Structure 1
Amino acid sequence: MRLVNTRTQRLATVPYRAAGAGGVPQNVRLCVERLTVDQLPAGCDALLAAGDLQGVASSPLGGEPVLLGIALADYLQVWAESGLLPPVDRVGVLLTGDLYSAPGADRRGASGAVLDVWLAFAAAGCPMVYGVAGNHDEVTAGQVAELGPDVALLDGDRRAFGGVTVAGISGIVGDPGRALRRTEEDFVSLIGKVITSPPDVLLLHEGPVGDRMGQLGRDAVRRALERRAPALTLCGHVHWEEPVAALGDGHIVNVDARVAVLTV
């Protein structure tokens, strides 16, 4: 599943509140952009990839503000009805972690429970929801597995859906005494294991450095991936203004505070 081109097309924006400097809430917009790939999993007419949804938003269905990821799941039906997206039961979901926000969007770097975001996409009818946990997520693979047979939190393992293989590694490089952190050596070693047979898609929270100015990431992760690069590596953790970079004979797409809709 390879990118056909690297130019994004803006589809929509979603208004939300996020913590700014000093924890002061600010009004921002989540960009929803299309990228074209050469193929999709059987059973899907689009894949929605997103990460670092660290904010709160009003659902298009009404009610009190909710986690941005929950509101995003609610938008899928609205966008399907308008023709912007295929029917929800034909839209697969790939999550790169950090899905929590303080309820008042008034504290940066807050950590908390995110199972409800996963539940929102599963309950919306998405045929598959695969993802990894970010360093601010409180969720377990066991909790996620209870949401359905094709809903999976990945960490050093892989799943297949519709002829497409997805692997994932949760967390970041850091003090292994803290949740969702590994030494760089252990992180790189785990990458080596999941790409022995390169998956079609690799999900990371902390990803590799890109190939352009400002595309920050971890050099060791890039070195680990270059020789057996997956066709598509999705990551977040740090924001890139330009979301696409080359990696070996594949590409990186950074979805930090961004939604990428992959279609053919």
Structure 2
Amino acid sequence: MSDFWICIGDIHDEVARLTDIPELAQASGVIISGDLTVAKGAPAARRVIDAVAAINPVIYAQIGNMDKPEVTEFLQELGCNIHRTVAELTPSVGVMGVGTSGITPFNTPSETPDETLGAWLDETYAQASQYDATVVVVHDPPFGTKCDDLGNGVHVGSKAVRAFIEKEQPPLVLCGHIHEARSIDTIGTTTVINTGMLSAGGYAKITIEGAAVQAELCIME
């Protein structure tokens, strides 16, 4: 029997389209890859989490660069934070997160040097060694893929994220951050999905059977 999870990201306070996601209530749970808010803190993040929980109460989430750092503490209090930590999707498959983003030109609330993102990925992945497979959730997409293309051939993703994927080859990496780059790509044997903004209709459906992880990029009607 298979489990399935729904991944969304870049919500930016806009929750109306949650009700347009097929099977959201029936999913094993919901993974949020970051940017719950627009430069806001815990009260705004709570409104987003409450809206998701009204449909499906099983949530794993992390901050993006547009969330204030205090949102991590809020998510920890709820028991649903995955930034720099590991949680269980099934007894065979874990999920880990590294939120925030690399340094941007826009001075957003939660930015992290790229080398630090790489160190966090290594540290957190080491915590997941008991699982047969690990789903990796990063807000910042890997450099040089469809998932970090601004739409004009300019790539602005994380080189550290890409190096981590090339080294560890997790089955699935979920990301966001670059709204224009909603897409699915591969690095070696790793599937990479940028779901884009929730308000634009993108989400991912992750199916787990045993230790096998499959995922598809979906667009709401």
TM-score (norm 2): 0.71
- 1:203 and 1:235 in contact (8 A); partners too: yes
Shift of 1:89: 4.9
Q: 1:119 aligns with which of 44, 47, 50?
A: 50
Structure 1 contact 195–230 (Cα < 8 Å) conserved: no
Q: 1:242 to 1:207 in 2, by over 3 A?
A: closer
Q: Determine helix, strand or coil for the equivalent of 1:189.
A: helix
Partner of 1:260: 204
Give structure 1 regions of 4+ aligned residues with deviation exceeding 4 angstroms.
none
Match of 1:97 among 34, 39, 45: 34
Candidates 206, 220, 238, aligned match of 2:178? 238
* Identity score, percent: 24
Higher helix share: 2
The answer as to 2:71 corresponding to 1:166 is no
Q: Report SS of the residue matched to 1:181.
A: coil
SS state at 1:124 partner: coil
Tell me which structure has the larger Cα radius of gyration: 1
Shift of residue 159, structure 1, vs aligned partner = 0.7
Q: Which amino acid aligns with 1:68?
A: E
Tell me the number of residue pairs that the alignment of Structure 1 and Structure 2 aligns: 188
Q: Does 1:68 find its partner at 2:8? A: no
Higher strand share: 1
Determine if the alignment matches structure 1 residue 85 to structure 2 residue 23: yes
Q: Does 1:136 align with 2:60?
A: no
Cα contact 2:9–2:35 (8 A) shared by 1: yes
- Give the RMSD, CA atoms, in angstroms: 2.9
Q: Does 1:52 align with 2:14?
A: no
- AA in 1 matched with 2:103: G
Which residues of structure 2 form unaligned runs of 5+?
150-154, 208-213, 215-221
Please show how residues 182-261 of structure 1 align to structure 2 within 5 Å.
182-196=112-126, 197=129, 200-212=134-146, 215=149, 216=155, 217-241=157-181, 243-257=183-197, 258-261=202-205
State the one-letter code of the partner of 1:261.
K
CA contact (8 A) 2:146 2:183 kept: no
Summarize the Cα distance change of 1:131–1:178 in structure 2 as closer, same or farther, 3 Å threshold: same
SS in 2 for 1:195: helix
Deviation of residue 186 (structure 1)?
Answer: 1.4
